Each structure stands twice: as C-alpha cells, then as structure tokens.
Amino acid sequence: MENLNLFTSTQEVIKEALTKLGYDEALYELLKEPLRMLTVRIPVRMDDGKIKVFTGYRAQHNDAVGPTKGGVRFHPEVDEEEVKALSMWMSLKCGIVDLPYGGGKGGIICDPRTMSMSEIERLSRGYVRAISQIVGPTKDIPAPDVYTNSQIMAWMMDEYSRLREYDSPGFITGKPIALGGSQGREKATAQGVTICIEEAAKRKGIEIKGARVVIQGFGNAGSFLAKFMHDAGAKVVGISDAYGGLHDPNGLDIDYLLDRRDSFGTVTTLFENTISNQELLELDCDILVPAAVSNQITADNANSIKASIVVEAANGPTTMEATRILSDKGILLVPDVLASAGGVTVSYFEWVQNNQGYYWTEEEVNDKLRKKLVESFNNVYETAENRRINMRLAAYMAGARKMAEASKFRGWV
C-alpha cells in the first residue's frame, strides 16, 4: 500500500539521499527526527466569555547550521507528525538555497475561519508566551504559513518584545513593512515558484507566453502565481480552492477572480458548474502547480496527469510513488523543497535587514531572490541529470549535505 504519511515518507527520502551521498547510519539517526518538539496548551478567553484551550506545537529539526526557521500555521488538521515533517522540509529548503538556518515549524489546532480577529490575536499572543523560552532571533525565527499573515506576525512580535522588554523585530519574519518587514515578502513564495516554472520551461522547450497553466489552490501563493503567469502571457485555464475548481480552456479572467476571492482564498463558491479538485489536476495543460495541500497527486491519479511540468508550490502535494510514476512518464517535477523556497529566502533577507538596520528596495530583493533560486534550480537539475535520478531526490541530497557537514564538524556524529 502507498505510504501517505508525510513524516515517514520524508524519512525514507532523507535516508535515500544520505545513502547516495555516502553518509553512515549515525547521521540518518540524527536527522530522522527533530532535535526538539514542544507541545503547548493555550487557554484563550473567547468572545462569549468562555475559556477554550488550544493545542500548539513547535518543532526544531536541526540547528547545526544555525538558528532554526519556519512558519506557524493555524489549521484544524494540524498534528504533531505534520509539524515534525514540515520542520524537516524547512531544513532541506534552507540547505538547498544555502541559508544559514536549520528547519523549524509551528502550528496550532484551530480554525481561524470561525474565529473573530480579537480571538485570533489572543491566541497568537498566548502561543508566543508558551514557546518564548525556545524561540528568538538567534534561536528559532517563526514566519507566516497556512492561515497566518503579516498581522498575526505583528501581534506575535509585539508579544515577544513585551516579554523581553526590548523591541525585537528579528524574532519573526513576514511582518508588515511598518514593523520591519521586507519589501517583496508577501509575494515571495509565488515569485520563487514563478522562477522555477521559467527555468523548468526552458529545459522542456516550452514558451511561457501562451502556455496553459493549472493552479490548484488560490491562497497566497496560488493567487499571486496566477497573476504572475497571466501577466507573463500564459493562459491560466484552471484554478481551485477548498470547495472546487474553475476551468476555461480559453483562459480564466484572473483579475476578475482576484477581485472576488476572500482572505482565505475562496472564490469558486460564487460560480456554478465548478469541477472537483481531482478533475482539475487531470486537466490538459502544459504546467500544473499544486498549491493547496498534501497528497493530491498519488499512485491513483498520477497516470492521468497530462502536464509536461509539475511545480510543487504546496508542501508534499505529490507522494513518493506518484513522483516515480511522473518521472517514468517524462514529466519534469520540481519538488516543493526547491519550488516553494522563495518564502524562506525572502524571510532570510528580512532577518538580515532587521539585524543590520538597513532596508532594500523591492527590486533589490527580487534580484537577490532570482539569483538564489536560479542557482539552486540549476544545481538540483544538474545533479538529477548527472546521477539519472528525479529532482526530488537530487534536492534532498542538496539540502541534506549542508546539515550533514555542519553536524560532522560540530562532532555530533
């Protein structure tokens, strides 16, 4: 039976990557689990006056390279294994784009779609109080993730600064510009995906102008990506949200859809004749971008994928078995740990700017991001070609190498 568990499937590929690199079993034992995993309980007074207790997590995978780094997600399906797997992916992302970080990740089991802004603020501040002893600008630096945004980061930074009794903008990234945020951060994940699409299209001989693009997910990354692709002359023929998908073989009116999406990325409920997310994935297109949730392309539907290029903007949208099927079909798959690294890269730029007190223009940020992502894409692609392996394994090898060497020099293995 196919392994759909994100944590154990990530362990499998890390082990394969370390074996390919010639490292011994001891290193895998070190990297197969986070170094630290904190579970917290957060009491919050709700608007009706009642106390509700939420469960939250913070995982720190490996800090051999430097402080850990990774987002905080607010979602009803967050669990410990997911947070552990995501922290491992963050370590790999940071290694792939050569950032001085290890991976971290956090989450709270909640549904912000059913909560007021004041309840979300109290929850955000309570989470920071609960994890404050293990985070900080030189320890572990949180950032936005699923259903969290710059306002939530602002509340978290303010709470941490109150606890420390000094202003600490470098504690967290993805902040509003007025509080030390970086130009280009909000669009960074989509910018990184766009760069990877451009590089992959060159390898496949596909012109972006006129290319048919399908995007699953219309949240932060998916909506910005749709705009970038539309502006580049591509035809976005399909998009979806949690409730279904929209398809037009002649190209959707992206500006119209962007004007009507809500803050959670929902837009399809305004339309009739929607299609399912599974139908969307199997549409005839040149470029498919899963930008929603995990385990969307599996062994059950991989053979029905018609795209020439799949670029993973979401975390873990393609299972390992599906990755092998797509590779056998000649589909170029750009893995999540590379394609979605734009967010953490510009978060790093924000942290650097906070530390030095000197801020860059959006053009400077975008230029630095492009240089990082193009170089990283080329390194991973060339490794895959030279070793005759898929880009996922090549990316894991690139990400694991830096952690492995840092751990060895520290004498941990």
Q: How many CB atoms lie within 10 A of CB 379?
A: 17
From 305, 330, 355, give the residue that closes a domain. Answer: 330
Q: Are residues 76 and 160 in the same domain?
A: yes
The amino acid at 56? G
Contacts of 257 (CB under 8 A, 6+ apart): 218, 226, 239, 246, 267
Confirm whether 363 is domain-assigned: no
Does 204 appear as a known binding residue? no
Q: Are residues 326 and 192 in the same domain?
A: yes
Q: Which residue has the tokens 């501040």?
A: 125
Burial (CB < 10 A; 0-12, 13-18, 19+), residue 273, is exposed
Measured between alpha carbons, how far is residue 366 from residues 184, 187, 220 in Å? Answer: 7, 10, 17
Q: Are residues 321 and 202 in the same domain?
A: yes
Q: Are residues 102 and 62 in the same domain?
A: yes
CATH of the domain at 311: 3.40.50.720
Q: Are residues 305 and 232 in the same domain?
A: yes
Residue 137 near residue 168 (C-beta atoms within 8 A): yes
The amino acid at 335? P
Confirm whether 341 is domain-assigned: no
Q: Are residues 153 and 211 in the same domain?
A: no
- Give catalytic status of residue 139 as yes or no: no
Does 69 appear as a known binding residue? yes
Q: What is the pLDDT of residue 293?
A: 87
- pLDDT per residue, tens digit, the chain (413 aa), is 677 788 999 999 999 999 999 999 999 999 999 999 999 999 999 999 999 999 999 999 999 999 999 999 999 999 999 999 999 999 999 999 999 999 999 999 999 999 999 999 999 999 999 999 999 999 999 999 989 999 999 999 999 999 999 999 999 999 999 999 999 999 999 999 999 999 999 999 999 999 999 999 999 999 999 999 999 999 999 999 989 999 999 999 999 999 999 877 889 989 988 999 999 999 999 999 999 988 999 999 999 999 999 999 999 999 999 999 999 999 999 999 999 999 999 999 999 999 999 999 999 999 999 999 999 999 999 999 999 999 999 999 999 999 999 999 999 99
Q: What is the pLDDT of residue 263?
A: 77
From 330, 350, 376, give the residue that closes a domain. Answer: 330
Domain with 287, as residue range(s), is 187-330
Q: Which of 63, 78, 288, 108 is nearest to 196 (CA)?
A: 288
Q: Are residues 87 and 118 in the same domain?
A: yes
Does 347 appear as a known binding residue? yes
Q: Are strands 309-311 and 332-334 parallel, antiparallel or unpaired?
A: parallel
CATH of the domain at 82: 3.40.50.10860
- The one catalytic residue in 15, 32, 84, 105 is 105
Confirm whether 357 is domain-assigned: no
Q: What is the pLDDT of residue 265?
A: 82
Q: Are residues 323 and 191 in the same domain?
A: yes
Confirm whether 19 is domain-assigned: no
C-alpha 329/C-alpha 311 separation (Å) is: 15
Does 189 appear as a known binding residue? yes
Total count of domains within the chain: 2
Q: Supply 27's token pair.
A: 């290193």
Does 294 appear as a known binding residue? no
Confirm whether 367 is domain-assigned: no
Confirm whether 356 is domain-assigned: no
Q: What is the pLDDT of residue 188?
A: 97
Q: Supply 53's token pair.
A: 């207790």
Q: What is the pLDDT of residue 3?
A: 73
Q: Are residues 64 and 195 in the same domain?
A: no
Q: Are residues 240 and 300 in the same domain?
A: yes
C-alpha 181/C-alpha 353 separation (Å) is: 9
Contacts of 193 (CB under 8 A, 6+ apart): 221, 225, 289, 291, 311, 313, 339, 340, 342
Q: Supply 366's token pair.
A: 């975008």
Confirm whether 22 is domain-assigned: no
Q: Are residues 303 and 226 in the same domain?
A: yes
Q: Are residues 192 and 163 in the same domain?
A: no
From 273, 302, 330, give the residue that closes a domain. Answer: 330
Q: Supply 320's token pair.
A: 């390992």
Q: Please give the distance of CA 84 from its chain centroid, rounded to a whole number.
A: 14
Confirm whether 377 is domain-assigned: no
